[in-house]
Amino acid sequence: MATEPENNDPNVDADSETSMQGPHNRFVLGYYGSPREAQGLLEAQLPDTLKRVLKLEDLVVENSHFIDERMAEVESDLLFRIPRCDREDEDAYVYVLWEHQRRRDSLMALRMWIYMGMIYRLLANEDRLLPGVKLPFVYPIVLFQGTEGWKKGLVLEDLIDVEGLDPELHRWVPRFEIDLIRLDEDSPRIRPEAPIARLGLSLMRAVMNRKVGEWLEENIEELNLLYGDNRSPVVLILSYALLSGAGLTTEEFQTIINEKGDPKMKYETGSVAEQLVDRNKKEIVLRMIAKGMKDQEISEIVDLPLNAVAEIRKDSQKNE
């Protein structure tokens, strides 16, 4: 579904925004796709009235995604199945959509309504909808990284033109509302008590504001403490901080980690930094090759062995 996004932020750089999509998506699916981190996230995001009837400790991350292919570069989504504690053998679902852009979509409620329909279709196709039993409850959340308010597009009913129609006809207009949570909002909902979930959300906010260097300085001691028992999520956090490039260079990252990081964590994240340096060098080499420069000249400028430059040239010719 094509939509015309609203963009009232003149400071948004479209190119830098595009470059963030890969790291954003990998981080969300790898980080909050873990049941433990997902539980910490939902503990903070869900209203108490819903949490009271859910067994969050038993949630299951569904391996299904519903976003439109044309939106896949700027969105990530996760569906969680959670047993109900008030009804035996019945589940509810929470669908979380991450918006990795600052632009506001005036048709967001319509898009989410379509995704909700796709969720129910999935459940029907997998025979999880039983005859004579009502549909399971699905709670829709959108985590938005923009800094401006979002006043339109959150309620489907408001998007449908009923002007001039008899009120009796309004009953055929679906009312559907999404729970929008801004990551820059000063709210406990983006400061969950679970430290791993909290650090993940606060890092995403730092990426949005391009203040990852400041974030890493402020949180490195807590990351050291968590590393022993939470190795995988901490490494994911640090990898995301580095790959985002949002206010933190590779050299600055390595300096902070080397001076203040846990020795084991320093070793593990060092390989990530090296891979990033190698990737950046490869991109520079490819640009130089495209400009017609010779391998020897490229090798001296980029500080790569001559055979490495030749290998990059060979691979680029294969892909042409």
Q: Would you state the pLDDT for residue 12?
A: 33
Pick the residue with more confidence: 283 or 261?
261
- In degrees, rounded to 5, the angle at the alpha carbon of residue 75 between the alpha carbons of residues 69 and 76 is 100
Model pLDDT for residues 42-101, shown as the tens digit of each residue: 988 899 999 999 999 999 999 888 887 777 667 889 999 999 999 888 999 999 998 876
Pick the residue with more confidence: 206 or 74?
206
Model pLDDT for residues 303-317, shown as the tens digit of each residue: 666 766 777 777 777
- In degrees, rounded to 5, the angle at the alpha carbon of residue 235 between the alpha carbons of residues 216 and 193 is 65
Q: Would you state the pLDDT for residue 11?
A: 33
Distance CA 298, CA 316 (A): 15
Model pLDDT for residues 146-188, shown as the tens digit of each residue: 655 666 668 999 899 999 999 999 999 998 999 888 776 555 5
Distance CA 38, CA 58 (A): 11
Q: Which residue is listed with tokens 């829709």?
A: 140
Cβ count within 10 A of residue 265: 20
Pick the residue with more confidence: 139 or 256?
139
Q: Would you state the pLDDT for residue 55?
A: 96
Res 297 pLDDT > 70: yes
Q: Would you state the pLDDT for residue 81?
A: 97
Q: Would you state the pLDDT for residue 288?
A: 75
Q: Would you state the pLDDT for residue 22?
A: 64
User: Are residues 63 and 77 in contact, defined by beta-carbon separation less than 8 angstroms?
Assistant: no
Res 128 pLDDT > 50: yes
Res 137 pLDDT > 90: yes
Distance CA 34, CA 78 (A): 11
Cβ count within 10 A of residue 156: 20
| Residue 6 pLDDT grade (very low, low, confident, very high; cuts 50, 70, 90) | very low
Closest of 123, 148, 153, 118 to residue 135, by C-alpha: 123
Mean pLDDT for the chain overall: 79
Res 5 pLDDT > 80: no
Distance CA 222, CA 236 (A): 15
Q: Would you state the pLDDT for residue 172?
A: 93
Tokens for 205, please give them.
Answer: 């906010």
Distance CA 4, CA 108 (A): 11
| Residue 302 pLDDT grade (very low, low, confident, very high; cuts 50, 70, 90) | low
Model pLDDT for residues 237-279, shown as the tens digit of each residue: 888 888 777 777 878 888 888 888 888 877 777 665 555 555 5
Res 227 pLDDT > 70: yes
Cβ count within 10 A of residue 295: 18
DSSP 88-125: TT-EEEEEEEEE-SS-B-TTHHHHHHHHHHHHHHHHHH
User: Are residues 40 and 192 in contact, defined by beta-carbon separation less than 8 angstroms?
Assistant: yes
Q: Would you state the pLDDT for residue 185?
A: 53
Cβ count within 10 A of residue 229: 9
Q: Would you state the pLDDT for residue 122?
A: 94
Give the sign of the dihedral formed by CA 276, CA 279, CA 281, CA 284.
negative
Closest of 69, 32, 53, 64 to residue 128, by C-alpha: 64
